[in-house]
Amino acid sequence: MKTHILVTNDDGVTAPGLLALAEAVRGLPDVKVSILAPDRNWSGGGHVKTLERPLRVREVTLADGSSAYTSDGAPSDCVALALLGFFEEKIDLVVSGINPMPNLGHDVTYSGTVTAAMEAVIWDTPGIAFSLGSVDNHLGALDYTAAAKVAETVVTRALQHKFGPGMLLNVNIPYLPHEELNGIRITRQGLRVYRDRLDKRVDPRGKPYYWIGGDSPTGTAEEGTDVGALINGYVSITPIQLDLTMYSAIPTIGDWGW
Amino acid sequence: MKTHILVTNDDGVTAPGLLALAEAVRGLPDVKVSILAPDRNWSGGGHVKTLERPLRVREVTLADGSSAYTSDGAPSDCVALALLGFFEEKIDLVVSGINPMPNLGHDVTYSGTVTAAMEAVIWDTPGIAFSLGSVDNHLGALDYTAAAKVAETVVTRALQHKFGPGMLLNVNIPYLPHEELNGIRITRQGLRVYRDRLDKRVDPRGKPYYWIGGDSPTGTAEEGTDVGALINGYVSITPIQLDLTMYSAIPTIGDWGW
C-alpha cells in the first residue's frame, strides 16, 4: 500500500513553498500525496482548534495544475480535518511548509508550520515541519530548490526509520544553493532573541493604537542548537516533544512548603 | 517596592474567573495588580503573536467596580503589550485564568490560558496559569471560591521562592469545595484522550461544511500526572518548560545515515 502523505502549511495553499514541498514528496516511490492547507496566511497564529464555528473545505488548482484542498481553518485545523477523516485513506505522515522564514527556538509554539506538525503528533501521526532560513519574507521570490531537495532526503529517512510517538521533527534549511550546504545537524532548540517593541500611534480620530513592532528576532548562535546550525550553513533537524514538563523542577517546587 | 502582578485570561475581561483571580491576588501584601485581558473569548486559540494589524486597548470597569484594560488581541498579545511597556511600571509576575475548564496534557499548546503564561516566560517574567477542573463550560455559574483560595496560596509560594527562567506553572484545581481538596501535587504533564470527530453537514444551499465535533476530552488517570491528580481531588501544579527538545532522540536520529 502507498504511503499517504498530507502536505499543509501556514502561508496558505497558494504559497510557492507548499508547491515545492508537494513536488518534492510526490517524487518519492510508493507515495500518494494529498494537500489540505489554509486559504490565507496564518503565520504566528499558534496552535488552534476551531470548535466554535464550522469549517469549509473547497478544491482548488495549484500553479502546476495539480489539485489541492483549502480550508478556512488554521493549519492545525487542516491537519485535524485530514486526520479525522476528510480523506478516505488514512494519512501516514504530515509534512508542513516550506515556510519562507526560519522557525527556531521559542518560535515553535507560535509557528503555524510547527503547530501543524504538533497536531499530527497529537493524533499519533508522524509530523515534520520545514522552514527556510531566509532573512526577509519575500513570498514568491524565494528559490525553494535546495530546501525541497533536503525535504526529499529528510522524508525518505523518516519513512525508512519511522519515528516514535509524541515527537515531531522541526527542520530548518539555510537559504543557500544546495551545494553550499555544509550538511545536516541534529540539534536542540536554541535561544531566540526577540526584539519586539511596542509602537504606540494615534489614529486620525485622536485615539491610540499599538503595533507589536521592532526588529526581526535574532538568535544565540550556540553550538548544538538550531540557531547555531543554521548560522553555520547546516540544515538543522530538531526533535520536538509534546511533553513540556520540566522534570528537574518537580522536586524543587515540592519543597516550597505546601 | 510593590510586586506588580498582571492578571489576564483567555475567556475575556468580563469572565468571572478573571475577577476571582484578580481579587485573590489583590489581597496579598505589597502587591499592585493590573488587568489587561482580551475583549472576547479566545479559548483554543493557541500561542498568537499579532503582527499584521495594530491592537486597540480600552479601559473598562469590572463587575466589582474596579478598573481594567481590554484589548482586541489574543491572551499572549495582551501579555506582550503589558510586558513591552503598556503599563509604566515593570510587571513582575503574570497570572492567567481562572479558566473554567481544565488545561491538562496536550491542552497546554492550544490553551490561551497557558500560552499567556508562556508569553510571559519568553519575556523573562514568571507566569502562572490557573484552571478549574469543571466538567461543563458554564461560564458565570461556577463557584471560583476554592480555586481563588488556591491561587492565593500558589502565588504566595511563587513570590517567596521565585522560580527560574524558561519555566511556567500550570495549575489545575478540582471543582470541589476548598475543604474537600485532598492537597497539592507537583505533577508531570499527563495524557489527554481527545475524542474529536469530524461531523460533516450540508448547508441550505447544498454545500458541505465540517464541525470538529465529538465528545469532550478525557484523560489517562496515571499516578504522578496532572490528569491523575485532578481526578483524585488534588490540586495539580505542573512545571512547564519552553525547551521542547526531545533530547533522547538526538543520537537516534543522528544514526539515520545522513
CATH number of B3-190+220-254: 3.40.50.620, 3.90.1200.10, 3.40.1210.10, 3.30.70.100? 3.40.1210.10
Q: Which residue has the cell 489574543?
A: B74
Bridge pairing between strands A192-202 and A208-219: antiparallel
Beta strands in chain A (DSSP E): 3-8, 31-38, 57-61, 67-71, 93-99, 127-133, 167-174, 184-186, 192-202, 208-219, 235-241
Q: Which residues of chain B does A242 touch, with a Cβ-Cβ cutoff of 8 Å?
A: 106, 109, 244
pLDDT at A187 (0 to 100): 97
Does the pLDDT value for residue B44 go beyond 80? Answer: no
CB atoms within 10 A of CB A213: 15
Bridge pairing between strands B184-186 and A67-71: unpaired
Interface contact A257, partner B, CB < 8 A: yes
Residue to test with chain A: of B10, B39, B42, B47, most A Cβ within 10 A: B47
Domain ranges of chain B: 3-190+220-254
CB atoms within 10 A of CB B5: 24
Residue A240 has its nearest CB partner, among B157, B164, B246, at: B246
pLDDT at B214 (0 to 100): 83
Low-confidence ranges of chain A (pLDDT < 70): 136-140
Give the pLDDT band of residue B102 (cuts 50, 70, 90): very high
DSSP string, A181-231: ---EEE-B---EEEEEEEEEEE-TTS-EEEEEEEEEEEE---TTBHHHHHH
Residue to test with chain A: of B48, B71, B109, most A Cβ within 10 A: B109
pTM of the model: 0.93
Please tell me the distance from the alpha carbon of residue B131 to that of residue B147, in angstroms, as a whole number: 8
Please tell me the distance from the alpha carbon of residue A252 to that of residue B163, in angstroms, as a whole number: 9
SS3 A147: helix
Interface contact B68, partner A, CB < 8 A: no
What phi and psi, each to the nearest 5 degrees, are found at residue A134?
Answer: -80, 155
- The mean per-residue pLDDT over the stretch B99-113 comes to 92
Across-strand partners of B57?
B71
pLDDT at B193 (0 to 100): 84
pLDDT at A151 (0 to 100): 98
Chain B from 196 to 215: CB within 8 A of any A CB:
196-198, 201, 207-212
**Cell reading at B65:** 467596580
pLDDT at A136 (0 to 100): 64
**Cell reading at A25:** 514528496
Top-confidence residue, A45 or B207 = B207
Q: Which of B45-49, B72-76, B152-156 has the lowest mean pLDDT?
A: B45-49
Please tell me the distance from the alpha carbon of residue B117 to that of residue B122, in angstroms, as a whole number: 9
Chain A from 11 to 40: CB within 8 A of any B CB:
none
pLDDT at A159 (0 to 100): 94
Give yes or no for a contact between B250 and A239, defined as CB atoms under 8 angstroms apart. yes
Please tell me the distance from the alpha carbon of residue A239 to that of residue B50, in angstroms, as a whole number: 27
Please tell me the distance from the alpha carbon of residue A127 to that of residue A132, in angstroms, as a whole number: 17
Q: Which residues of chain B does A212 touch, with a Cβ-Cβ cutoff of 8 Å?
A: 49-51, 55, 77, 80-81, 84
What is the distance in angstroms between the CA of the first residue and the CA of the last residue of chain A? Answer: 56
Does the pLDDT value for residue B12 go beyond 60? Answer: yes
User: What percent of chain B stands above pLDDT 70?
Assistant: 98
Residues B150-199 have pLDDT tens digits of 999 999 999 999 887 889 999 999 999 999 999 999 999 998 888 888 99
Q: Measured between alpha carbons, how far is residue B132 from residues A45, B147, B226 in Å?
A: 26, 7, 12
Angle at B227 between CA B5 and CA B108, to 5 degrees: 50
Question: Is the Cβ pair A212, B183 closer than 8 Å?
Answer: no
Angle at A156 between CA A150 and CA A162, to 5 degrees: 125
